Amino acid sequence: MLRQLYESHCDLLMGVPVTGRYADDKPQLLFTAPYYVMTQVVVAPTVGGVASLEGLQGKLVGVQAMTLSDQLAYERGWNRKVYLKSEELFAALVSSEVDAVVVESVFAGPFLRKSPGFRGLAVRDPQRELPIGAVVRKTDAELKDAVDRALKTLRDKSVPDILSRYGIMLAQAAPPPASEPAPLSAQLRSARSTYLTQCSQCHGTDANGTPAAANLRAFKGTEDDFLRVVRNGRPGTAMTPWKGLIDDDDIRNIARYIKGL
Ligand code: HEC
Residue 9 has pLDDT above 50, yes or no: yes
Look at 92 and 210; give whichever has higher pLDDT: 92
Compute the mean pLDDT over every residue in the chain, rounded to the nearest whole number: 87
pLDDT in tens, 165-198: 888 776 664 333 333 345 567 788 788 888 888 8
Please, are residues 31 and 193 in contact by the beta-carbon 8 Å criterion?
A: yes
> What is the whole-number distance in angstroms between the Cα of residue 217 and the centre of ligand 1?
12
- CA dist 240 → 77, 161, 207, 231, 236 (Å): 32, 40, 17, 9, 9
Residue 10 has pLDDT above 90, yes or no: yes
Whole-angstrom distance, CA of residue 93 vs CA of residue 59? 12
Q: In ligand 1, which atom is closest to the CA atom of 246?
A: 38
pLDDT band, residue 2 (cuts 50/70/90)? very high
pLDDT band, residue 139 (cuts 50/70/90)? very high
Among 160, 202, 199, which residue's Cα sits nearest to residue 178? 160
Among 127, 26, 132, which residue's Cα sits nearest to residue 68? 127
Residue closest by Cα to atom 34 of ligand 1: 199
pLDDT in tens, 13-33: 999 999 888 888 899 999 998
pLDDT attached to residue 122: 86
Mean pLDDT (whole number) for 246-251: 94
Percentage of the chain lying above the pLDDT 90 cut: 49
Residue closest by Cα to atom 6 of ligand 1: 199
Among 20, 18, 15, which residue's Cα sits nearest to residue 212? 20
Q: How many CB atoms lie within 10 A of CB 182?
A: 7
pLDDT attached to residue 181: 42
> What is the whole-number distance in angstroms between the Cα of residue 99 and the centre of ligand 1?
39
> What is the whole-number distance in angstroms between the Cα of residue 203 and the centre of ligand 1?
7
Pocket test for ligand 1, best of 190, 206, 234 (most atoms within 8 A of CB): 234
> What is the whole-number distance in angstroms between the Cα of residue 212 and the centre of ligand 1?
9
- Of the CA atoms within 13 Å of residue 138, those in its CB half-sphere come to 5
pLDDT in tens, 39-76: 899 999 887 778 788 888 889 999 999 998 999 999 89
Alpha-carbon dihedral sign for residues 202, 213, 190, 24: negative
Please, are residues 34 and 131 in contact by the beta-carbon 8 Å criterion?
A: yes
- CA dist 87 → 98, 122, 152, 166, 168 (Å): 14, 20, 34, 16, 17
Whole-angstrom distance, CA of residue 167 vs CA of residue 130? 18
178 phi, psi to nearest 5 deg: -65, -10
